[in-house]
Amino acid sequence: MRTLLLGTFLTITVFLILSSSALAASPIMATNQYRIEEANGWTHQYTNQNRLTINKTGDFVIEGTIQYQYTNIMNKEFSVEITEASGDLNMNMTCTEEQEELGLLKGQRVTARNRNRFQYQEGFVVNITCNSTQIQARLRIRANQQNRDGTWAYYNGETEEWVPVQSSIQDGYLVADTDHFSVWSVIIPEVDYTLWIILGGVTAAIAVLGTLIYLMKKRK
């Protein structure tokens, strides 16, 4: 009986430990409803580390649902501002750390439309869907040492590739303008050291050749 009770106790203990570990490792999605009227904006703070803001200019109304994977996304300040729209908008957003099916895993390489190679380090992907295709918007994320040399990019589902767009640092944020919504993130260009290696090799060869010529002249 004691052996049976001890075995049962150990089994329950192991089960609870494994269950708690699985829950801790699983990302948790927080869901919020929002509605923006007149000149108001909407801001939500996630786990006191991440802030998401939606603003608008114009007399249209924006409403929808936001899902945020707040257990994995760390220290992000993201905002989207709608400057033009053809009417009231129903805009839904899902924010995650990665998108494995689209090739976005932290630390991995991304090949974009221009065939240049990028690194995905941001840990923030936003999928925005909207009932209107006639919009003008601005995406902003707080710049840091890691992403300030990066660029906003969206995923083109038809060609199945990432498309970088012109981005700039403005008031401490990495900013890009767009006329459409889809899956967006920030990717970092890889530094191509090939040219520097070639130049270094040429410089070293010239230096060696110059030294040999100098020694030959000195012997004469």
At 148-171, the pLDDT tens digits run 999 999 999 999 999 999 999 999
**Which position has the higher pLDDT, 29 or 39?**
29
Pairing of strands 77-85, 50-56: parallel
pLDDT for 7 equals 53
Place of tokens 């001890």: 6
Instruction: Tell which residue, 92, 104, 193, has the closest CA to residue 154.
Output: 104
Give the pLDDT confidence of 58-68 residue by residue, as tens digits.
Answer: 899 999 999 99
In whole angstroms, what is the distance from residue 210 CA to residue 48 CA?
Answer: 62
DSSP codes of every residue in 121-183:
----EEEEEES-S-EEEEEEEE--TTTTT-EEEEEETTTTEEEE---EEETTEEEEEESS-SE
pLDDT of residue 153: 97
Output the six-digit token pair for 94: 């899902």
Residue spans of the domains in the chain: they are 29-189
- Residue-wise pLDDT for 115-133, tens only, equals 889 999 999 999 999 999 8
Q: Please, are residues 126 and 185 in contact by the beta-carbon 8 Å criterion?
A: yes
- What's the pTM? 0.76
Sign of CA dihedral 7, 12, 15, 16: negative
- Which amino acid is located at 101 in the chain? E
User: Could you tell me which CATH class the domain 29-189 is placed in?
Assistant: mainly beta
